[in-house]
Amino acid sequence: GGGVEAGEDAAAALAEPDDPDRCLSLLPWDRFSAWLHCVCVVGFDLELGQAVEVIYPPHSKLTDKEKTNICYLSFPDSNSGCLGDTQFCFRFRRSSGRKVSLCCFLDQLDRDLPVYLKKDPAYYYGYVYFRQVRDKSLKRGYFQKSLVLISKLPYVHLFRTMLKQIAPEYFEKSEAFLEAVCSDVDRWPPPIPGKILHLPVMGVIMKLRIPTYRDKPGTTPIVQNMHQADAQISMALPTVHEVDLFRCFCPVFFHIQMLWELVLLGEPLVVMAPSPSESSETVLALVSCISPLKYCSDFRPYFTIHDSEFKEYTTRTQAPPSVILGVTNPFFAKTLQHWPHIIRIGDIKLPGEVPKQVKVKKLKNLKTLDSKPGVYTSYKPYLNKDEEIVKQLQKGVQQKRPTEAQSVILRRYFLELTESFIIPLERYVASLMPLQKCISPWKSPPQLRQFSQDDFMKTLEKAGPQLTSGLKGDWIGLYRHFLKSPNFDGWFRSRQKKMTQKLEALHLEALCNENLVFWSQKHTEVETVDLVLKLKNKLLQADREQLPVKTDTLKKLQTHINDIILALPDDLQDILLKTGTT
């Protein structure tokens, strides 16, 4: 509820985030909705099977299809044999035709995020804490329940930490406890990127910082743990979204570079794992390995045969789609054996000793889920193998280097590889921008020049990845393949949008520097009215699209508009002052 007013209040609250009274002007549940869509409890009913027992807050809307997906995705497959407590996450499609109820102020926050953390309005994440324990008093002999947080935000580490805090207590207590948790969340500040946020939940304060697009990739400003004088326990989260990269890649240690290529090119990938926690962590690790590039295809950290996209993704009538699926059901070994790249993972354990060198396996050897862990593919990597990173990580294993430190090394390696690959593209695309002298205030802004694959390839000889990477191999082949991929399409579109907005902003500045009143005196009333309406539209566009324009420029343009209107006859003045335009 409260749509527009809430959005405006919130935007005002964000304009002065340090004034607590302004922040309180949000409506009930607005703050909660900025972080979570709802909280679900999924239980097992002997008659019905898995069923959603509770949705909180009660007014949260989920379609029947969404509820069915949540039910099946919130429990591990029966073959996983997950006794005790298990945490994992899943991602599912929102039902089409639903109104996207994001307040304008949440859109504003989204703009400051790095591209790989921006919300995808078509999907929800489900963060699960599943408990299965023996209970003789129940008919099946087991207590089975999942507490699930549904959110549009990809903040895996934050919600995992939160569930660890609240789920064990919820299983002991009940609904009233859940209500208390939700009202805590409804007191959280908005998820503003770049600020240190304090998020209280059931007596614990989580301190964290959401990254912004201005952060230098690969750097994480440290959130210090403060000693609180009061009874509240404070815990600092080193990250909101990262997974333990080294732990996830350990079982396929020798193939990290090939996997980076497969993810970069948007190849169909399936991860077969013994449990949803391993499948979901590995899929998230794969998606993040091309950061700061955004992985633009679909990915499912945990996928089951009941998923609404099961038929679409497993059909043999067409080539496998560009998606990454995490699965645990042995049935998939058969259903997906036509997929070109399969990663088979055993139980993820950190190696006490150096992992053995493992060859890439032939796909025809993958008959069942009992096949040995490894990568099954006939893919030939474009780039030569970087032996250095393997040695560095092996040395870390021998020296008992902490897994966090190993992950930092691995993350830096992936980042440098991705940046070496993307910098030549960035440089070429920047050259498509028209020169500033081509921008005339009296003509529409000029268009960007077309992207030409041949022209780009010619730049690689002098300004290719060899400037920043020592890796040899067929970089040209890798680029050719990448230019056909969904990841290139997504990256180029966002670049195009940014550059077009920059041209619009430069055009606005050029208009501001003209003597518009003098111009209007030399033209007819009809032409002057037309100019005023165009200028008003420009101002609305600058606001709507958040164009990169200085506030002074906008004020100056508004003054120009007012001055032109005041020089017109009274009857026209009245009409134009009332006209908002589109």
Strand, helix or coil for residue 290: coil
Query: Rounded distance, CA 320 to CA 412, Å?
Result: 31
- Among 78-82, 106-110, 537-541, name the most confident range: 537-541
**Nearest partner of 289 among 384, 151, 174, 413, judged by Cα:** 413
Per-residue pLDDT of 33-81, as tens digits, reads 999 999 999 998 777 788 899 999 988 999 999 999 999 999 998 766 7
Q: 554: pLDDT confidence band, cut at 50, 70 and 90?
A: confident
Q: Report how far Cα 393 is from the mean position of its chain's Cα atoms.
A: 28
Beta partners for residue 39, in sequence order: 56, 149
Name which of 181, 177, 140 is nearest 159 in CA terms: 181
pLDDT of residue 159: 97
Per-residue model confidence (pLDDT) at position 447 = 87
Q: Kindly report the average pLDDT of the chain as a whole number.
A: 85
Q: Give residue 158's pLDDT band: very low, low, confident or very high (50, 70, 90).
A: very high
Distance CA 356, CA 397 (A): 12
pLDDT over threshold 90, residue 265: yes
- Kindly provide the b/e burial profile for residues 232-251, where b requires at least 16 CB atoms within 10 angstroms of the residue's own CB: eebeebebbbbbbbbbbbbb
Strand partners, 143: 133
Asked if the domains at 30-177 and 246-484 fall in one CATH topology, the answer is no
| Per-residue model confidence (pLDDT) at position 97 | 63
Range 262-285 average pLDDT: 95
> CATH assignment of 246-484?
3.40.50.11500
pLDDT of residue 229: 47
Rounded to an integer, the average pLDDT of 21-28 is 55
Looking at the chain, the whole-number percentage of residues with pLDDT higher than 90 is 48
Q: Indicate the range of 292-296, 422-426, 439-443 predicted with least confidence.
A: 439-443
Kindly report, residue by residue over 456-475, the tens digit of the pLDDT: 999 998 888 888 888 899 99
Q: What is the pLDDT of residues 357-388, one digit of tens each?
A: 566 766 665 555 456 788 989 999 999 999 99
Q: What share of the chain in percent tops pLDDT 70? A: 86
C-alpha closest to that of 439 among 385, 509, 533, 343: 509
Per-residue pLDDT band at 354 (split at 50, 70, 90): low
Residues 563-572, buried b or exposed e (16+ Cβ, 10 A)?
ebbeebeeee
Quickly state the pLDDT bin for 15 (edges 50, 70, 90). very low
Q: What is the average per-residue pLDDT within 405-424?
A: 94
Band of the pLDDT at 7, cuts 50, 70, 90?
Answer: very low
Instruction: Give the separation between CA 559 and CA 511, rounded to whole angstroms.
Output: 12
What superfamily in CATH does domain 30-177 come from? Longin module (3.30.450.200)
- 576 or 155, greater pLDDT: 155
Is the CB of residue 121 less than 8 Å from the CB of residue 152?
A: yes
- Which segment of 120-129, 215-224, 351-360 scores lowest on mean pLDDT? 351-360
Q: Looking at 84-98, 345-359, 461-475, which range is the least confident one?
A: 345-359
The domain limits of the chain are: 30-177, 246-484, 515-579
Quick one: pLDDT at residue 192?
93
Is the distance from CB of 468 to CB of 419 less than 8 angstroms? Answer: yes
For 64, counting Cβ atoms within 10 Å of its Cβ (0-12 exposed, 13-18 middle, 19+ buried), the class is exposed
What is the structure's pLDDT at 582? Answer: 44
